[in-house]
């Protein structure tokens, strides 16, 4: 791993609590997230990884009964400020889900969709360029360039996930959130996505929830270990997996619980 100088903080989460109705799911989590790096969230199922991830693009707003308090500072402003447009925020903080979810549209239209609604291209050739660049960055171009007008849903699972990544990238986000992006994929497709994540981190701030500790160790520079809605420990991935400070982290990474 070639991490040298520390990167600046892209998203600074401060004192975050999340409630689903009366039940508290996240307890006072503060976490600085670095730019141009991959941060992995690990921990037993139900410990709050996805809930915390969803705070970063206000996806919890879409869940009835969910309430988030605390500050999430991105580029100097709190994303929970009432003046922030959540739709615009989600174009800056893209998301890739567990199950690939291409729109029931052509490959081309899947990638062009965001650029069209955000008015990023005025002419057809500009849109063509956005589609090609996004598909290239998602390392899918070579496989689909001759069938751009066929349905995205006709691709393999791994290709569909790369299509969803291309779709997220097409509107030039700064942060990409990934919620177990490989859990529906076979090992070969998983390896391709992991390679892609490693390439993308040069230009983006990436946060990935994973149930696979091997995956966290392979793709991330920073790892955060959650337990029962609390952040137990966060640090350099190598340190978390070899010499964590906390006994609970040690027990988890050595398979003693979870």
C-beta of 42 vs 176, nearer to ligand ADP: 42
Residues near ligand ADP (CB under 6 A): 20, 25, 43, 45-51, 63, 209
Q: Nearest distance from residue 50's CB to ligand ADP, in Å?
A: 3
Are 87 and 34 a contacting pair, CB within 8 Å? no
Q: Burial, 242: exposed, middle or buried (Cβ in 10 Å; 0-12, 13-18, 19+)?
A: exposed
Task: From residue 68, give the alpha-carbon distance in Å to each of 55, 71, 85, 90, 256.
Answer: 7, 9, 16, 16, 32
C-beta of 29 vs 169, nearer to ligand ADP: 29
Nearest CA to 222 out of 231, 190, 184 is that of 231
C-beta of 138 vs 219, nearer to ligand ADP: 219
Helix (H, G, I), strand (E, B) or coil at 183: coil
User: In this structure, what are the phi and psi dihedrals at residue 203, rounded to the nearest 5 degrees?
Assistant: -120, -10
C-beta of 59 vs 144, nearer to ligand ADP: 59
C-beta of 51 vs 220, nearer to ligand ADP: 51
Q: Nearest distance from residue 26's CB to ligand ADP, in Å?
A: 8
Q: Nearest distance from residue 124's CB to ligand ADP, in Å?
A: 41
**Cα angle at 233 between 68 and 86, to 5 degrees?**
25
State the DSSP string of 191-230.
HHHHHHHHHHTTTSEEEEE-S-HHHHHHH-SEEEEEETTE
Q: Nearest distance from residue 20's CB to ligand ADP, in Å?
A: 3
Helix (H, G, I), strand (E, B) or coil at 81: coil
Q: Nearest distance from residue 63's CB to ligand ADP, in Å?
A: 5
Q: What is residue 44's DSSP assignment?
A: S
Q: Nearest distance from residue 257's CB to ligand ADP, in Å?
A: 14
Residue 68's DSSP bridge partners are 18
C-beta of 139 vs 183, nearer to ligand ADP: 183
């Amino acid at each position: 791993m070639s991490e040298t100088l520390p990167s600046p903080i892209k998203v600074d989460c401060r004192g975050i609590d999340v409630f689903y109705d009366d039940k508290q799911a996240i307890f006072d989590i503060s976490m600085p997230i670095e730019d141009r790096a991959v941060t992995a969230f690990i921990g037993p199922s139900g410990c709050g990884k996805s809930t915390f991830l969803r705070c970063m693009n206000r996806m919890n707003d879409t869940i009835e009964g969910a309430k988030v308090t605390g500050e999430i500072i991105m580029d100097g402003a709190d994303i929970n400020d009432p003046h922030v447009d959540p739709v615009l925020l989600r174009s800056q903080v893209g998301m890739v889900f567990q199950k690939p979810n291409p729109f029931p549209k052509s490959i081309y239209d899947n990638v062009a969709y965001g650029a069209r609604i955000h008015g990023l291209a005025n002419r057809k050739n500009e849109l063509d360029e956005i589609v090609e660049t996004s598909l290239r960055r998602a390392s899918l171009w070579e496989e689909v360039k001759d069938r751009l007008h066929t349905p995205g849903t006709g691709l393999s699972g791994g290709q569909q996930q790369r299509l969803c990544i291309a779709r997220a990238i097409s509107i030039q986000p700064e942060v990409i959130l990934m919620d177990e992006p490989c859990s529906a994929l076979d090992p070969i497709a998983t390896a391709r996505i992991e390679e892609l994540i490693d390439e993308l981190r040069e230009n983006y701030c990436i946060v990935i929830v994973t149930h696979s500790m091997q995956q966290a160790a392979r793709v991330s520079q920073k790892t955060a270990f959650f337990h029962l809605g609390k952040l137990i420990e966060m640090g350099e991935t190598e340190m978390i997996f070899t010499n964590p400070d906390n006994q609970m982290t040690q027990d988890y990474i050595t398979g003693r619980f979870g």
